[in-house]
Chains A and B, each alone.
Chain A
Amino acid sequence: MSSETALAGERRARGLAPFLRSQMRNIAPFLTLIFLSGFFAFASPSFATLDNLGNILTQVSVTGIIAVGLTFVILCAEIDLSIASIANVTGIAVAYFTLQESYVNIANIPLPGAVAIILSILLCALLGLVNALGLTVIGIPSFIMTLAMMQIAAGISALLVRGQIAYKVPSLITTLGSGSIAGIPWLVIVAAVMLLGGHLVLTYTRFGRYVYMVGGNREAAEYSGLNVKLILGSVMVISAVCSGIGGMLGVAHFGSAQQNEFDTYLLDSIAAVVVGGTSLFGGRGGIGNTIVGLFVLGVLNNGLDHVNIDSFLKILIRGLILLAALVINVYAQRLREKTAA
């Protein structure tokens, strides 16, 4: 009798409507993307062009690189508010270790390009490790721990540039950040490779499975004998390193390294992950969702430039779209719980 009801449950689960309901978190962002693209294509003839697609891709690339690591963090039901600051300090560090033009007034330490890059990556990994230790060993909630790290990284940035602007970065970074090959910007390629890499790790590796399981039910992960602290610590370091790479390429992309350069990237990256449908409660979503979220954000930012709209209104519109996505995110979680209960 009990197996009968369970079989009935299985049939129910495999019906179309419940399937769609359980996939709501994946479908809703995609519909949003199609709707926004359609709207802007209709409203502006210059939106739906190949050139503009290239623009959008380039515009979301730095956010995309940072969002790879953040996806890991949010899948574990944690948050990282220090991503933009760490991106900024890593970008500044790589410039700090590069010989600047004589008119740049920074007491920096010029080193060979490869060394500068390695040191910068070590720096962001170290900051991520501090986040990890604060979260797992001391037990500071990630929200607060990374808030402190946001200030610390901003402080290191300030000490390194002292209000100045640096321009030169190692040539490898310059190429990846602002060069292109066969008409495709290297930046877009790096973002695509990192997103793909993140997806492969999350989907096909043991570590990726652990990330989902820890996010899905942390208590159960611990009772299954997983080293939950190690997994949480690792995602914090991954997040910081992705941010650092995004920061270095971003500096090359913008052509300068200075304080507060990445401030808008914190919100954009969180928005990209969440708008894409990755659950803030952990365990659901992934890089696929983040990619859709990046496009929603990219199309929205870019499209608003193509239509005749008060530029001060745009900020409000972005906020409202983000709110709508959050509502859908929480609602989708509830639907799924109902289906599974």
Chain B
Amino acid sequence: MPEVRSPILELQGITKSFGGVEALRGVDFALYPGEIHGLVGENGAGKSTLMKIIAGVHTEFSGRFLIDGAETHLRSARDAHAAGIAMVHQELSVAPDLTVAENVFLGNQPTNALGLVQWRRMAREAGEQLARLGLDVDPMSRLGDLSIGLQQLIEIARVLFSGARIVILDEPTSALSPPEVERLFATLRRLREEGTAIVFISHFIEDILRVSDTVTVFRNGRKVAETASAATSKGALIEAMIGRGGEALEHSYSDDLMLPQQSESPVILKVDQLSLARSLKDISFEARAGEVLGIYGFMGCGQQELSRILFGKLKPDSGTLAVEGKPKTFASTAAARRAGVALVPESRRDMLFHQEPVYKNISISILDRISSLLLKPAQERDIAKRQVEQLQIRPPVVGLDLGMLSGGNQQKVALAKWLTYPPKLLVLCEPTRGMDVGAKNDVINIVRDLRTKGLAIIVLSTEPETVLSLADRILVLKRGAMVREFKNEPVSKDRLLEAA
């Protein structure tokens, strides 16, 4: 006979908007002690917003917030911490230059009566805590010397053992190896026995199903399903996540899409057995002229590293690259550019000069083509004007500082800098991220147009729609390994998510 449990945390009718856009619409959520609660949903579905409300990061919202049945208003992350709520964010927030022990005790190092840090005690207790997670790490070693997975586990350990009653983990497994995931799960289960309530957010639905007791699904800011993990399946969850019936404004890509026959055009890029530390394992593929190759995978699957290797920004540990049959080892991004490779990284900030005018941003990558020694500003402006016109960059003023442009227009400038003298291979990371529908369509059209001009294009994205809307052939990366290739066959969002 199960006792009637009362929730440790209860949210009722939570609505939260950002500048007129509703990120959460009337969400109810309850969390019980001794429960692992999985959260799934697409990017932007509202999971993280809800968790940030719980963790006291977002303090303005409507709805009721109850802890132990008492209505509470958290004013800051500090308040949340005092109430026993702790969160591990997706991005690592560790101090790489401090020791492991210092990281475990960050902010509350044990001190003696004089206020001096008790190093020996700190090291011993840190060692004990890490041992509980099955980690055999010297507490006095520098954290930055450890693998990313270990660093993430240590950050998780800090939160798990901080004495919090409610622990939120946002994508904790993306950088972990399978044995590390096992260790994390064993620890989570033990904490559950001790009565801790845990929220577990992940794109890896298998992980969610294995470790959680309950799963909640979010879609477009609403809670669309809540079910016991034992009573559902991966397929059912994916269906709930992406929905049916075209309620989204855009093409939802939930139906099968037929990929074309594989192109017979010349191979531009050949990648063979590329490996990089813990990020990439034996990646091999080809990219052909006039073809868009999509590479899909979750955050942290190794896409970013792969794109950097193709552009000479990172050096692989092993493996070879060949451009048009000629083996290349790029010593610098300049060498990659000379070989005809271009990259647009996911962060526009990384490739644009915000305090410089638009035309200088567009001409920077082609200056050596139009001037040997002296600059030709008039020609630069002409080229920039043509690109601005062609890509419909608004406002069409090439002398304007780039920082004055909207995000979508900045993304077009980032593309424009490569287009006057088109490269052989164009690598695009998250080309439509954070754009409104109009700008998204513009970018999609630009890319399709480039494909007809015979460029080999690689699109890397964590958003299935982006890959599906552009790619002729799709590779799926999972934890640094290539797990599936879709070509000349039907593909859909479900199938992609299923493969990843």
Contacts and interface: CB of A to CB of B under 8 A. Distances in A.
A7 B395 contact: yes
Interface string A214-230: 00110111111111111
Of the candidates A6, A224, A229, A230, the one having the most CB atoms from chain B within 10 angstroms of its own CB is A224
B131 interface: no
Given A204-B374, A205-B375, A225-B336, A216 B404 contact: no
B365 A224 contact: yes
A9 B333 CA distance: 34
A13 B375 contact: no
Interface string A49-76: 0000000000000000000000000000
A227 B332 CA distance: 7
Nearest to A217: B353
Contact of A6 (B311, B345, B394): B394
Contact of A205 (B343, B374, B395, B409): B374
A226 B364 contact: yes
Contacts, number: 108
Of the candidates A217, A225, A230, A336, the one having the most CB atoms from chain B within 10 angstroms of its own CB is A225
Interface residues of A, number: 36
A251 interface: no
B261 interface: no
A208 B367 CA distance: 12
A340 B334 contact: no
B7 interface: no
Interface string A327-341: 000000000110011
B211 to A, nearest CB: 38
Interface stretch (B42-50, B159-167, B354-362): B354-362
B367 A206 contact: yes
A223 B438 CA distance: 26
Nearest to A226: B334
A3 interface: yes
Given A6-B405, A6-B406, A226-B334, A204 B350 contact: no
Contacts of A3: 394-395
A206 B356 contact: no
A212 B354 CA distance: 13
Size class of the contact patch on chain B: 35 or more
Nearest to A216: B353
Contacts of B352: 217, 220
B499 interface: no
A163 to B, nearest CB: 44
Interface in B350-392: 350-356, 360, 364-365, 367-368, 371-375
B203 interface: no
A218 to B, nearest CB: 10
Given A6-B395, A227-B332, A340 B401 contact: yes
Interface string B404-441: 11101100000001000000000000000000100100
Contact of B364 (A204, A208, A224, A284): A224
Given A206-B368, A226-B333, A283 B355 contact: yes
A209 B368 CA distance: 11
Contacts of A337: 355
A222 B353 CA distance: 12
Contacts of B353: 213, 216-217, 220, 283
Nearest to A5: B406
Interface in A152-195: none
B313 interface: yes
Interface string B308-329: 0001010000000000000000
A224 B351 contact: yes
Contacts of B365: 224-225
A10 interface: yes
A92 B483 CA distance: 67
B395 A10 contact: yes
A223 B406 contact: no
Interface string A139-161: 00000000000000000000000
B337 interface: yes
11 contacts: A3-B394, A6-B405, A216-B356, A220-B351, A222-B313, A224-B337, A224-B364, A225-B336, A227-B333, A230-B334, A340-B404
Closest 6 CB pairs of A and B: A225-B337, A3-B394, A340-B403, A227-B334, A223-B351, A9-B404
Interface of A: 2-3, 5-7, 9-10, 13, 204-206, 208-210, 212-213, 216-217, 219-230, 283-284, 336-337, 340-341
Interface of B: 311, 313, 332-334, 336-338, 342-343, 345, 349-356, 360, 364-365, 367-368, 371-375, 394-395, 397, 400-401, 403-406, 408-409, 417, 436, 439
